[in-house]
Structure 1
Amino acid sequence: MDRRLFLTTAAAFGALRFAMDPAQAEGTKFEVTRSEEDWRAMLSDIEYAVMREEKTERAGSSPLDKETRPGLYACKGCDLPLYSAEAKYDSGTGWPSFTQSLKGAVRTKDDDTLFARRTEVHCRRCGSHLGHIFDDGPAPTGKRHCLNGVSLSFKPA
């Protein structure tokens, strides 16, 4: 396959993927919206990079990775409760990890960067990037919601 055909085919598959998944489509509406300027004013540089540009914080940099108290983890962008401390576990990865989110709290989309397909997880209310979901977690779900601590705020019970 020549380069032009490859690029055309890849672009077509990308457009098809966006058409099939409304959460990935440009112009997706969220309950909480802010201008880029407003997001930048309310978030630190690393929070903005992670939550709005889908970057990743450095492993081991979040104090939430070692948080063990009962409570809820909420989106730092809109304060929506996302995860219960009951679903949190120590994955040994250096990021806060959970077996599942609260019902209806998150949206997912495919992430094809880094030459592998992963599942990206976002807040369903404001669209903030939280992290990724992997299939190597413990029972009962077998999932590992590997999250950036800068995307979360912890609310003790």
Structure 2
Amino acid sequence: MTDKIKLTDAEWREKLTPEQYHILRERGTERAFTGPLNANKASGEYHCAACGQLLFTSDTKFDSGSGWPSFTAPAEGDAVEEHRDMSHGMVRTEVLCGKCEGHLGHVFPDGPGETGLRYCINSAALDFEPES
């Protein structure tokens, strides 16, 4: 089990850029096809931009055509948490960082491969660490 990180609203605002704060702490989203990691094809790891938790690896990333980085599975079992999201008149599954509970995006049952899942994640919620 991952130890949770709890910061005050002021501490999160100081740590994150305004866009990161809006997405990770206020459950916002970036516009499709605007995030720099959407087209990233390099090998490496994707970490939470708020706390550094390893979330996804490049071997599960695929081009979904949705405009956001998409993955078929999290890096580890407790890397992310999933919660029912009934906002905006839809029923979806929200994806949160397992360590800081920052909003990452949503997961949908229309992905490729064995999992059949598409973790649709905001670029601003991620930091990419290339393989050395």
- TM-score class, shorter: over 0.9
Q: 2:103 is matched with which residue?
A: 129
Q: Secondary structure in 1 aligned to 2:12?
A: helix
Q: 2:93 is matched with which residue?
A: 119
Q: Secondary structure in 1 aligned to 2:21?
A: helix
Question: Is 1:71–2:44 an aligned residue pair?
Answer: yes
- Higher RCO (Cα < 8 Å, 6 or more apart): 2
- C-alpha deviations, 1:37-66, integer Å up to 9, x for none? 111111111111100010111111111001
Question: Is 1:90–2:32 an aligned residue pair?
Answer: no
Larger radius of gyration: 1
What 5-or-longer segments of structure 1 have no aligned partner?
1-29
Question: Is 1:81–2:50 an aligned residue pair?
Answer: no
Aligned residues: 128
RMSD: 0.9
Q: Secondary structure in 2 aligned to 1:31?
A: coil
Partner Cα separation in structure 1 for residue 51 and residue 22 of structure 2: 16
TM-score by length of 2: 0.94
Q: Which of the residues 97, 105, 127 maps onto 1:153?
A: 127
Partner Cα separation in structure 2 for residue 133 and residue 31 of structure 1: 22
User: As a proportion of its length, which structure holds more helix?
Assistant: 1
Q: Secondary structure in 2 aligned to 1:132?
A: strand
Q: 1:21 is matched with which residue?
A: none
Poorly superposed stretches of 4+, deviation over 3 Å: none
User: As a proportion of its length, which structure holds more strand?
Assistant: 2
Question: Is 1:32–2:5 an aligned residue pair?
Answer: yes
Q: Which of the residues 10, 14, 17 maps onto 1:44?
A: 17
Identity of aligned residues (%): 41
- C-alpha deviations, 1:100-144, integer Å up to 9, x for none? 101220001000012221000000100100000001111121100
**Which amino acid in the other structure matches residue 121 of structure 2?**
L
Question: Is 1:100–2:73 an aligned residue pair?
Answer: yes
**Which amino acid in the other structure matches residue 4 of structure 2?**
E
**Which amino acid in the other structure matches residue 64 of structure 1?**
L
Partner Cα separation in structure 2 for residue 73 and residue 148 of structure 1: 11
Q: 2:116 is matched with which residue?
A: 142
